[in-house]
Amino acid sequence: MASLITTKAMMSHHHVLSSTRITTHYSDNSIGEQQLKTKFQLPHRLFARRIFGVTRAVINSPAPSPLPEKEKLEGERRCHVAWTSVQQEKWEGELTVQGKIPTWLNGTYLRNGPGLWNIGDHDFRHLFDGYSTLVKLQFDGGRIFAGHRLLESDAYKAAKKHNRLCYREFSETPKPVIINRNFKNPFSGIGEIVRLFSGESLTDNANTGVIKLGDGRVMCLTETQKGSILVDHETLETIGKFEYEDGLSDHMIQSAHPIVTETEMWTLIPDLVKPGYRVVRMEAGSNKREVVGRVRCRSGSWGPGWVHSFAVTENYVVIPEMPLRYSVKNLLRAEPTPLYKFEWCPQDGAFLHVMSKLTGEVVASVEVPAYVTFHFINAYEEDENGDGKATVIIADCCEHNADTRILDMLRLHTLRSSHGHDVLPDARIGRFRIPLDGSKYGKLETAVEAEKHGRAMDMCSINPLYLGQKYRYVYACGAKRPCNFPNALSKVDILEKKVKNWHEHGIIPSEPFFVPRPGATHEDDG
């Protein structure tokens, strides 16, 4: 997830820092008309050339210091640069532009994601484990300045100090420090339970998203509430924790991707004790969240469904309840299970809930086919009777065909060793239809034929002016097969069921970010 802090054209997402793309689309619907592409590991080097309308920014910096011997294994030598750790804690410089950057594009584009996957002699297992690295691209009159800096979270600072993992990451649990090998503490398990449910052992490694609050503060996020960290968008320095003033932090976890506007922020707080979700709202300029309402899980499972993101319409919040559920027993394991902190429970059903923003009332709760999604795209209200009253909500997401293998495919060993193999699980744009007439069931359909975008779909964005409104275009990462990770950029016309793709051999792009052109009259004019 990304944020754009702007001065003129307001460019107000987590993933691979080694390759970042910002794409500008003009109203002729051509995805290749004008693109800025920066291929980085920032501390290494950036390349530039112009091919088929693709504009690259490039700088060559001094060669990085040699990698440690342990990183020179056969698999490492063959792996893509995207899956290697950054070699400098911070870096900045001006990029040389070949091509033309729109003169109206001025501001600072920020993103974060995992950038350091080892500490001491310990190599992390999963893409999501890496310590957060904050990246910026600053646009100024056709010039581009770039930089990155590792986020100074408590987890990262402790790891640097002790040269070992000290907090629970996505797939990692710190090994206990053994003082006396002949003594076994019978209460150590109880202590770990206390540390887990108090949040003490959970990470604050904010590697999942960047948001700009309505009052201008910039915050990096992850799925733990303690991982809400303020940063300086100009220097990339870590300012400190965002201190919530509402007594809700004892619930420990949150949606990684809140919905933020100039006036408010909406997010979901899963409840692990009484399975369900609190829907909360925070006004711009405030540190206090208010609970708008609560949804109880319908499945009867011991844990709520994972809620990495969600969607809103003009009047409603759409709350997903996936069969991929938080599992307390898996959270307590010293070694990860195949699904890490989750378990797959399709037999318990899959659901979507709709809550009124105004009253907190749950106005719809429907069962739908099983689904797996990291990222919702958008949602809107539809008036099928023409009387001005919404009868159905349409909610779109990047849906992985109810296939949990995507989590396993994001293990670093898999990403590093399966380059060139067609092992990326299929994905599509899943479209939910949620009736507002009290029906028990909703629908899940494929919005656009998945083959048109390479059967891959994730890291999505839309024109932000269409948030919660009926819209037409999705910008996301698709695929050109064979691949083990999304390796293309796709512009999807949901109305006409058309897709335009961009791919270049050896490149791993990250999510596109759409910036509307000032004065634009078309949704894709930007």
C-alpha 149/C-alpha 303 separation (Å) is 36
Can you say whether the dihedral through the CA atoms of 371, 1, 266, 247 is positive or negative?
A: positive
C-alpha 207/C-alpha 202 separation (Å) is 14
Question: Can you name the residues that pair with 93 across neighbouring β-strands?
Answer: 146
Q: Return phi, psi of residue 129, to 5°.
A: -80, -25
Burial classification of residue 359, based on how many CB atoms lie within 10 Å of its CB (0-12 exposed, 13-18 middle, 19 or more buried): exposed
90-98/54-58 β-pairing = antiparallel
C-alpha 490/C-alpha 477 separation (Å) is 6
Q: Provide the CA 42 distance to its chain's centre, in angstroms.
A: 20
Tokens at 439, concatenated: 């029906």
Tokens at 32, concatenated: 């290749």
In this structure, which amino acid lies at residue 280?
V
Coil, helix or strand for 347? helix
For the CA atoms of 163, 164, 168, 174, the dihedral, rounded to the nearest 10 degrees, stands at -150
Half-sphere exposure of 235 (CA within 13 A, CB side): 6
C-alpha 94/C-alpha 57 separation (Å) is 9
308 among annotated binding-site residues: yes
15 among annotated binding-site residues: no
257 among annotated binding-site residues: yes
Residue 438: count of CB within 10 angstroms of its CB: 9
Coil, helix or strand for 277? strand
Coil, helix or strand for 204? coil
Q: Return phi, psi of residue 447, to 5°.
A: -70, -40
- DSSP assignment, residue 67? P
Question: Can you name the residues that pair with 210 across neighbouring β-strands?
Answer: 220
C-alpha 479/C-alpha 452 separation (Å) is 9
Burial classification of residue 335, based on how many CB atoms lie within 10 Å of its CB (0-12 exposed, 13-18 middle, 19 or more buried): exposed
Q: Which of 100, 165, 92 is nearest to 130 (CA)?
A: 165
Tokens at 392, concatenated: 């159905």
Q: How many residues does the chain have?
A: 526
- DSSP assignment, residue 451? G
In this structure, which amino acid lies at residue 368?
V
Q: Provide the CA 347 distance to its chain's centre, in angstroms.
A: 28
Helix spans in 20-150 (H): 74-78
Residue 259: count of CB within 10 angstroms of its CB: 20
Annotated binding residues for Fe cation: 257, 308, 375
Annotated binding residues: 257, 308, 375
